[in-house]
Amino acid sequence: MYRMLIVCLMFVTTTGFAQAPEGVTRRSPLSSFSTHKTSDDFARCMSEALRTDFPASRVDPGKAGKEILVSGDPSAAPVAVIDVADGVGGGAMVVIRTASSMQPARDPTVKIARNCQ
């Protein structure tokens, strides 16, 4: 009886930790690329593309362009942070940090960003 209770508690605890998002940190998987769009144009494209799957996403002013915080729930930590820095002569550099443990190229946020490239 006690063994079953302990096993159940371990299972519940383990699945709870597995589903808890850790949020985006400096150690999060990173992906980057350049785009011919300005940070404003890229942010506009991303806002439209994220609307369905990540409705709580928002665009903030960044140090050299825009910062896009990707989230599906307003009370949850962002699943990705996208920094878009305007370059000289047009275009921008896009740096994406994701909270996902999957390879950045397979992350849905990175795929959406590449489609806005």
Q: 25: helix, coil or strand? A: coil
Closest CA to 100 of 48, 31, 34: 31
Q: Return the residue matching tokens 């494209």.
A: 45
Quote the percentage of the chain above a pLDDT of 90: 64
Burial of 106 (0-12, 13-18, 19+ CB in 10 A): exposed
Residues 66-108 have pLDDT tens digits of 999 999 999 999 999 999 999 988 899 999 999 987 787 889 9
Q: Is the pTM of this model over 0.85?
A: no
